[in-house]
Structure 1
Amino acid sequence: MRSQKLWLLILNITFNMVMGFILPVNMIFINKNLNQPLTTAGFSLMVYSGFMMLGNALGGVLFDKISKKWTLQIGYIIAVISLLGMTVHHIWPSYLFMLVMLGFGMGISYTAINAYTAFVAEQTVGDSRVLFNNMYLAANMGIAIGSTAVGFIFEYSVFLTFFIPVILFVLCILIVFFKANLLDATNEEAEKTHEYHVSAETADPKEIIGGRRYLTNLIIISLGVFVMWMGYTQWDSNMSVYMLNEGFSKREYSIVFTVNAGSLLLIQPIMNRIMSKMFKLLKHQILVGIIIMGLSFLILPNANKYWMFIVSMLILTVGESMVFPTIPALLNKMSTSKNRGSLQSLYTIMGSLGRAIGPYAGSIIVTVLSFGNLFYGITAAMIVVALSLNGVKELEK
């Protein structure tokens, strides 16, 4: 049903609006407002993302074994409680406790949203990548709105920076409460709309690929997601300090994210048409996309003009438009109704692990070496993991 997809898109936009609020300012807030060293700020975001990873894992289990809607609700409720504390309490180190609990709650909800997407995509007639692409565009609309707004709101009011996400998540709780039956609708229930196909469970991809090769697939994909997010998350963390050190303002830093999210609305539809014709296998599209993402960091070591950061972000945007919606689609090709949530949680877990280690590892490299060495290292690592995707055995379906 179209309304099922619509509400799912709204949940995704709202969730990512909160991400747009929280991620760009946390490194700055801990470093500048709470007067903690850069390494402490990086470590804090590592712990935050580590708890998000735990939430991702729990979310996958709850989604497959217990309840789809309550997986979402539990995550939202934990996040709201944490954000309420962060709204009024700005004292270290108790702020860290609230931050990591926020990560745990958001991790549960993030996996549930991805698993819901796979759940609906599996039943939709046609190329399931369409829904994943639409969800990715919705996510970036949320990031664009959130990151643009927080650039102004953070300078005006710290209270509103954390309280507005409370309002957004309460809205999500209400949506899930009133629309749960629609979100959980199966293809049998929607058969009259002719939008879904009704078919017996297909053969287990694990049996077709082979147990050992299937495991190899998961390892390679997991490694790729981990390294990709370790590099990408530098924009959410250490890049804020890098740009401030170069004399740019917090608002100019947040506008880079606006350019990223806004340009995706133009870039991704174009790239999808080109890539679907150019690459028959999803793994090849992901491979090329990760390489493009890695190459974008080569501009940064000598970036002393604002337009250079914009160009770097635009190149990164081209790469991510090829990668981020395609990895969940690839995992969905490897899943069944019994493990769909768990496999989608693998993507969110490894992404959270990359986001957990990335800021802290990046801050150490910057402290011991330099920002330039950090950027060159990211490029090299992304190219290596991209090439390893040739080892993935993908079913042609």
Structure 2
Amino acid sequence: MPKAVWLLVIGMAINVTGASFLWPLNTIYIHMELGKSLTIAGLVIMGNAVMGIIGNLIGGNLFDRIGGYKTIMLGVIITMTSAFILAIFNEFYHYVVLMLGLGFGAGIMMPAMYAMAGSVWPEGGRRPFNAMYVAQNIGVSLGAALGGLLASYRFDFVFLGNGLMYFSFFLLALFFFKHLQADVGQASTTNVFEQGQAVENKKRFRALLILCGGFLICWIAYVQWQSTISVHTQNLGIPLTQYSILWTINGAMIVFCQPIIKLFIEKWVHSLKAQIYVGLVIFMGAYVVLSQADVFSAFIVAMVILTFGEMFVWPAIPTIAHQLAPEGKAGFYQGIVNSIGTGGRMLGPFFGGVMADLFGMSVLFYALVALFLISFLTTYLYDRGLQERKVDQRNIETSAS
């Protein structure tokens, strides 16, 4: 990989390590330390995600207008400030307000980092996005393990560790990201949708939205591991340190199983669409296992299955978004993808909390398996309009010859 991508990968790992000190423990802290219900916990996480969606859309547009460096610096200053204040003031109402700040700042950063990765290595195809995905999960592995360890002593240490990691990322971005600015394309001052490619660009945007409909479902299911499942394991008597190990397994697999995934894709999965299909089937298997899980070993099996599924799905979506994006809109398209993912993280805890409170965990897991069928449909449909246009163009060229 180019040096510029390596810098972004390191930055992503540090950034997500900081975030992962906190997010797996949010529901546990709100429910068990602050004494609020699962539904209230879901609403708080929903508020965090709403601010993340707003940040995603703003961050993606800022990337296209002012470049990645300034956008990332703005986001990290907001998150770093919120995290350090949270280390001091962490009663319920303080917690809610500062969680909104963390969501907004993180939302600004993520699409800018993904768009920058695609821009500095345009010939890399899916590789820069896969590298950023792996870096994210290195951060998840380290952050979740360290966060669980710190939480076993005092939750205040989790908040402080969160702030220190964001400060480290701030220093890295300040000294090493600025020179990447020149490599990032800026948005055109002319509205792309008013040019000759208007119809094609609208089709591309529609394709992105259809694809992201299925992506939303995947995140609603996935985020249960950070919300309802975390509490479910506690109710079964599984210690917090063991729950954190699940995320360590997840991150370690994503790093060390990449050769297996690469070989499988090269031999049997020859398109990004097929890659998503495979991942969806694996996701469904993970939640079927979860529906029967009542001991820690069963949760390990389900996490292993889930991790294989996400290694197929998660890198494919931003890669497709980058391929669909018109010139000067890379940040905007990545902002849409990240906002949809954040939307899933917003809706998921509330949906899961209500389902778990009303019907129990088993019904929740079976409902999620059924919802994955929607993702199959959106994956099948998203590029049909684009394919039809390609066929029409080939017919015109044949007639002309």
TM-score (norm 2): 0.89
Q: Percent identity between the aligned chains?
A: 29
> What one-letter code is carried by the residue in structure 2 that aligns with 1:329?
T
**Secondary structure at 2:47 match in 1:** helix
- CA deviation map 1:259-306 (0-9, x unaligned): 111111232321122113323321121122122112210111221121
Cα deviation for residue 212 of structure 1 reads 5.7
Give 2:227's match in structure 1, choosing from 232, 237, 259.
237
Change (3 A) 1:311 1:209: farther
Cα deviation for residue 36 of structure 1 reads 1.1
Aligned to 1:194: none
Q: Does 1:335 align with 2:332?
A: no
Matched ranges for 1:109-128 at <5 A: 109-122=109-122, 124=123, 127-128=124-125
Q: Does 1:268 align with 2:258?
A: yes
Cα deviation for residue 159 of structure 1 reads 2.1
Give 2:270's match in structure 1, choosing from 261, 274, 280.
280
Mapped contact 1:291–1:383 kept (Cα < 8 A): no
Aligned to 1:9: 9
Aligned to 2:160: 163
Mapped contact 2:145–2:245 kept (Cα < 8 A): yes
Cα deviation for residue 218 of structure 1 reads 1.6
**Secondary structure at 2:90 match in 1:** coil
Change (3 A) 1:218 1:187: closer
Matched ranges for 1:209-358 at <5 A: 210=200, 213-358=203-348
Q: Does 1:133 align with 2:130?
A: yes
Q: Is there any run of 5+ residues in structure 1 with no aligned partner, and where?
A: 189-205
1:215 and 1:182 mapped to 2: Cα distance? Answer: 31
Change (3 A) 1:173 1:357: same
2:63 and 2:176 mapped to 1: Cα distance? Answer: 17
- CA deviation map 1:22-55 (0-9, x unaligned): 1111111111111111111111001111111111
**Secondary structure at 1:117 match in 2:** helix
Cα deviation for residue 374 of structure 1 reads 0.7
Mapped contact 2:290–2:298 kept (Cα < 8 A): yes
Q: Does 1:22 align with 2:22?
A: yes
1:155 and 1:138 mapped to 2: Cα distance? Answer: 26
> What one-letter code is carried by the residue in structure 2 that aligns with 1:166?
G
2:87 and 2:204 mapped to 1: Cα distance? Answer: 45
Aligned to 2:41: 41
**Secondary structure at 1:156 match in 2:** coil
2:221 and 2:230 mapped to 1: Cα distance? Answer: 14
2:66 and 2:127 mapped to 1: Cα distance? Answer: 28
Change (3 A) 1:37 1:379: same
Change (3 A) 1:65 1:277: same
Matched ranges for 1:196-211 at <5 A: 207=197, 210=200
Mapped contact 1:238–1:359 kept (Cα < 8 A): yes
Mapped contact 2:208–2:324 kept (Cα < 8 A): no
Aligned length: 378
1:384 and 1:106 mapped to 2: Cα distance? Answer: 28
**Secondary structure at 1:210 match in 2:** helix
Aligned to 2:140: 143
Change (3 A) 1:136 1:269: farther
Cα deviation for residue 134 of structure 1 reads 1.7
**Secondary structure at 2:21 match in 1:** helix
- CA deviation map 1:208-243 (0-9, x unaligned): 993564344122211011111000000011111100
1:95 and 1:384 mapped to 2: Cα distance? Answer: 35
**Secondary structure at 1:101 match in 2:** helix
